[in-house]
Amino acid sequence: MSVEADDKHYLWHPFTQQEIWEAEPQLVIDRADGCYLFDSEGRRYLDGVSSLWVTAHGHRRAEINAAIIDQLDRVAHTTFLGLTHEPATKLARRLVELAPGHLRRVFYSDTGAAAVEIALKMAFQYWQQTDPPRPSKTRFFSLNNDYHGDTVGAMSVGGVDLYHALYKPLLFPIYQEPGAYCYRCHLRKSYPSCGIACLDQVKRTIAAHADELAAVVMEPMIQAAAGMIAFPPGYTRAIRETAREHDVLFIVDEVATGFGRTGTMFACEQEGIEPDLMAIGKGLSGGYLPLAATLATEEIYRAFLGPIDSGRTFYHGHTYTGNPVACAAALASLDLFETERTLDKLQPRISQLTEGLRRLETLRHVGNVRQRGFMAGVELVRDVDSRQPFPAVERVGHRVCNEARARGLILRPLGNVIAVMPPLVISEAELSFLLDVVEESVRAVTESPE
């Protein structure tokens, strides 16, 4: 049987309407090289979304492959319950050295959603056993359009209706306010003359419920999954400061933004933010293996110390916590960031992306383009003047991605937003090709005669 036939017979894909999946032809990826993926018939595609925002240094990097093989020659997996190993300790030290602010402790897991859940549980438990305890601080605050993963706790602090509304009865209650979505401002103001007026509502709610709030959880600088909604500069920092003023912990979700995506190692650096807890995942292993982590300050960590009968233990873990092969891949990826000066070399590519996006902004059905570093989104609209969206049933984003695929570029839409997330090491010529194909594909779908 062919791979495609078996897939359609046996598999169930993430975020996928299987009825459509089964009816349409599907691409089978066979191998990869650098920024390219190759299908089973040998056709080549530029990986325009870094295999869902993870690939940093390209596919099949000799250095990361070698680190993985070297680790396999020692041990592929050993439990982290009651044992430790060098790849985990070395990586933890490196992460603490790189992390913003005063994060000092690393708790491993294997997906971004788990890293967020762990941060939520740590924040909740911290207030139960800090000295003196604040048992009323059990709730969380987040913004509309936040995305933190698909497990029940991570969904509870999420705010993307398409993904979360159905599950409402399962989710724990939180406080939530609209975030800054400047293109579709709920206050009908415009930036910068608004003075970021929407912050007032956020600050008021955090202040009003500070006694109940364990933490504010937030995607810094840009809400990725909701459609690359970029916040005004200073916005994330203002919310961090509000949390601090009211004695509420600040959990930053750098799962998407971490590891160079916004142009610095972490988005927090650009906003001068020192978080209390930080979730990382996606690019942590350079795009190789599932690995995530939650970083905590020493102050939070200390609240969990005590004799065995103190009840302060953090009872949380996953079978593959701290997998040594994944840690080895992450270490090799961090080495590459240093030896190749990846972030320095990225800066001209970020400018090139900015230029290319400016060109796209002039297209007849491009309503808004948004970018933070090497994360970008192109919002397509039926009517530019009224900002009227294309109806979801038209699947405009999906069709643009199909056009791009026919031209040798893999993209993945977020509704009517075309996400552009190239590998950090993409070359000038490759990025130029990517931008041309995005433009051609958007035109092919939105400007072709009915």
Ligand X SMILES: *Cc1c(COP(=O)(O)O)cnc(C)c1O
Binding site for ligand X (CB under 6 A): 111-113, 116, 147-149, 219, 224-225, 253, 255-256, 281-282
State yes or no: cis peptide before 422, omega within 30 of 0: no
Find the residue with minimal CB distance to ligand X.
112
Beta bridge partners of 177: 143
Cβ neighbours around 192 below 10 Å, total? 10
Q: Where does residue 84 fall: left (phi above 0), alpha (psi -120 to 50 degrees), or beta otherwise? A: beta
Alpha-carbon distance of 132 to 126, in angstroms, equals: 11
Alpha-carbon distance of 410 to 229, in angstroms, equals: 21
Tokens of 238: 């203002």
Assess contact for 411 and 438: CB atoms under 8 A. Answer: yes
Alpha-carbon distance of 364 to 387, in angstroms, equals: 12
**DSSP per residue over 180-234, as a string?**
--GGG-TT---TTTT-STTHHHHHHHHHHTTTTEEEEEE-SSEE-TTT-EEPPTT
CB closer to ligand X, 350 vs 375: 375
* Cβ at position 205, least distance to ligand X in Å: 21
* Cβ at position 267, least distance to ligand X in Å: 10
Question: Mutual orientation of helices 62-72 and 324-339 as an angle, nearest 10°?
Answer: 150
* Cβ at position 23, least distance to ligand X in Å: 26
* Cβ at position 35, least distance to ligand X in Å: 20
Tokens of 252: 């930053």
Alpha-carbon distance of 249 to 214, in angstroms, equals: 6
* Cβ at position 109, least distance to ligand X in Å: 9
Assess contact for 34 and 426: CB atoms under 8 A. Answer: no
* Cβ at position 224, least distance to ligand X in Å: 5
CB closer to ligand X, 215 vs 437: 215
* Backbone φ and ψ of 211, nearest 5°: -65, -25
The total number of residues shown for the chain amounts to: 450
The type of residue at 348 is P
CB closer to ligand X, 281 vs 397: 281
CB closer to ligand X, 148 vs 240: 148
Cβ neighbours around 222 below 10 Å, total? 24
Alpha-carbon distance of 341 to 74, in angstroms, equals: 29
CB closer to ligand X, 242 vs 285: 285
* Cβ at position 204, least distance to ligand X in Å: 25
Tokens of 139: 């709730």
* Cβ at position 116, least distance to ligand X in Å: 6
CB closer to ligand X, 176 vs 402: 176
Alpha-carbon distance of 412 to 448, in angstroms, equals: 21
Alpha-carbon distance of 52 to 159, in angstroms, equals: 20
* Cβ at position 147, least distance to ligand X in Å: 5
Radius of gyration of the chain (CA): 22
CB closer to ligand X, 112 vs 159: 112
CB closer to ligand X, 154 vs 213: 154
* Cβ at position 112, least distance to ligand X in Å: 2
* Cβ at position 257, least distance to ligand X in Å: 7
CB closer to ligand X, 92 vs 284: 284
* Cβ at position 372, least distance to ligand X in Å: 13
CB closer to ligand X, 59 vs 282: 282
CB closer to ligand X, 109 vs 446: 109
Rounded to the nearest angstrom, the gap between the alpha carbon of residue 298 and the centroid of all alpha carbons in its chain is 25
Alpha-carbon distance of 276 to 192, in angstroms, equals: 29
Cβ neighbours around 214 below 10 Å, total? 24
CB closer to ligand X, 252 vs 437: 252
